[in-house]
């Protein structure tokens, strides 16, 4: 069996692809790997859309990084943005993590350019790895939630503008252990970090009541750089959590789902069968990120996952 890969691509539905490219490419310095315009029959069949529903696509990546890519898709008749009216603690795909260098200066620069943040940036320590971290949340296009993170002193591949993404897809779940076990078993991911975060800074950043916090498990493949990881988060003390996984489907806007590319898709199928997890086989498809056999299924929480044979 070949090496274990992290998330290859994260799907983001957009109202205006040029606006999204302005942020990710012109501001953050990501590369445009590939672009497509007009009808994409294979992708429409995969997502069960009308042939003309997809109008434009762009595949973006951090320079020299082959995982954690962003697949921007513009739809002809988009449905509601997944997190348009969401509470911070609602279940579903939530954050796109972007690593940056010198977060305070990036924060000031973006504010001067007219971008807004949910709070001032905060600093905290991840005790399990002894890392000092700065973090801040910014509302992005199409009601995406972009998290800027700087692990002080870390050396990591970034763009020339000092940004790198996507380091983690953050998805909110109610049953953390069950979701973790699923990803580690089916996709052979390994635990990079497990942490409980409580305190005033967490309450303020997320909007939790006093005493609230979160449990998180961070899962990754074998890549040397920490891109394309799955960050599973369960909130403690959340008063209400709507299930947004049900609407996080194309042609919705915002962060929708993710794609893994593997060397042995039959191995994934066999694991799913052993767990009695239903999956759909879509055959050989030629998509913007590659050509190969593809299947789709749901995690226990409801996240759509696509797996393509390399």
Give the chain's mean pLDDT.
Answer: 93
Could you tell me the pTM of the whole model? 0.95
Mean pLDDT of 186-212: 77
Has residue 99 got a pLDDT over 60? Answer: yes
Q: Which residues of 205-234 are buried (b: 16+ CB within 10 A; e: fewer)?
A: bbebeeebbbbbbbbbbebebbbbbbbbbb
DSSP characters over 251-292:
T-BEEEEEEEEES-HHHHHHHHHHTT---EEEEEEEETTEEE
Has residue 206 got a pLDDT over 70? Answer: no
Residue 103 has φ and ψ, to the nearest 5°, of: -55, -45
Has residue 200 got a pLDDT over 80? Answer: no
Helices (H), 71-175: 103-112
Mean pLDDT of 35-59: 97
Has residue 14 got a pLDDT over 80? Answer: yes
Helices (H), 146-216: 176-186, 200-206
How far is residue 7's CA from residue 51's CA, in Å, rounded to a whole number?
27
Mean pLDDT of 33-50: 97
User: Quick one: pLDDT at residue 102?
Assistant: 96
Has residue 130 got a pLDDT over 60? Answer: yes
User: Quick one: pLDDT at residue 213?
Assistant: 81
User: Quick one: pLDDT at residue 204?
Assistant: 64
Band of the pLDDT at 50, cuts 50, 70, 90? very high
Mean pLDDT of 69-87: 96
Beta pairing class for 54-61 and 69-75:
antiparallel
Band of the pLDDT at 208, cuts 50, 70, 90? low
pLDDT, tens digit (0-9, with 9 covering 90-100), for 174-195 = 999 999 999 999 999 999 999 8
Contacts of 56 (CB under 8 A, 6+ apart): 17, 35, 36, 37, 38, 73, 74
Tally of CA atoms within 13 A in the half-sphere of 83 that contains its CB: 27
Has residue 306 got a pLDDT over 70? Answer: yes
Task: Check: CB of residue 99 under 8 Å from CB of residue 165.
Answer: yes
Task: Check: CB of residue 121 under 8 Å from CB of residue 104.
Answer: yes
Band of the pLDDT at 199, cuts 50, 70, 90? low
Mean pLDDT of 6-21: 97
User: Quick one: pLDDT at residue 118?
Assistant: 85
Has residue 211 got a pLDDT over 90? Answer: no
The structure tokens listed for 260 are 């893994």
User: Quick one: pLDDT at residue 209?
Assistant: 54
Of all residues in the chain, what percent carry a pLDDT higher than 70? 95
Domains of the chain: 9-82+244-309 (3.10.180.10), 92-236 (3.10.180.10)
Has residue 116 got a pLDDT over 80? Answer: yes
Mean pLDDT of 70-78: 98
User: Quick one: pLDDT at residue 201?
Assistant: 66
User: Quick one: pLDDT at residue 94?
Assistant: 95
């Amino acid at each position: 069996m070949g090496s274990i890969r992290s998330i290859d691509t994260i799907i983001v539905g957009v109202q205006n692809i040029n606006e999204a490219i302005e942020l990710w490419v012109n501001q953050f310095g990501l590369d445009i790997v590939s672009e497509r315009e007009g009808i994409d029959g294979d992708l429409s069949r995969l997502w069960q859309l009308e042939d003309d529903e997809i109008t434009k696509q762009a595949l973006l990546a951090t320079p020299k990084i082959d995982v954690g890519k962003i697949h921007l898709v513009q739809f002809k008749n988009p449905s509601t943005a997944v997190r348009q009216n969401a509470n911070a603690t609602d279940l579903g795909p939530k954050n796109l993590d972007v690593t940056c260098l010198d977060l305070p200066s990036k924060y000031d620069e973006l504010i001067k350019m007219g971008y807004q943040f949910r709070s001032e940036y905060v600093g905290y320590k991840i005790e399990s790895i002894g890392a000092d971290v700065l973090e801040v949340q910014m509302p992005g296009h199409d009601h995406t939630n972009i998290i800027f993170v700087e692990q002080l002193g870390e050396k990591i591949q970034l763009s020339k503008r000092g940004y790198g993404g996507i380091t983690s897809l953050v998805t909110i779940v109610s049953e953390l252990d069950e979701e973790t076990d699923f990803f580690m078993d089916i996709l052979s991911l390994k635990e990079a970090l497990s942490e409980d975060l409580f305190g005033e800074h967490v309450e303020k950043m997320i909007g939790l009541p006093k005493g609230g916090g979160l449990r998180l498990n961070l899962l990754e493949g074998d890549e040397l750089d920490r891109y394309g990881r799955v960050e599973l988060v369960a909130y403690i003390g959340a008063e209400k959590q709507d299930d947004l996984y049900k609407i996080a489907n194309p042609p919705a806007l915002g962060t929708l789902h993710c794609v893994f590319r593997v060397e042995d898709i039959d191995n994934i199928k066999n694991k799913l069968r052993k767990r009695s997890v239903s999956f759909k086989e879509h055959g050989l498809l030629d998509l913007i990120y590659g050509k190969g056999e593809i299947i789709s299924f749901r995690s226990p929480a409801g996240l759509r996952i696509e797996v393509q044979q390399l």
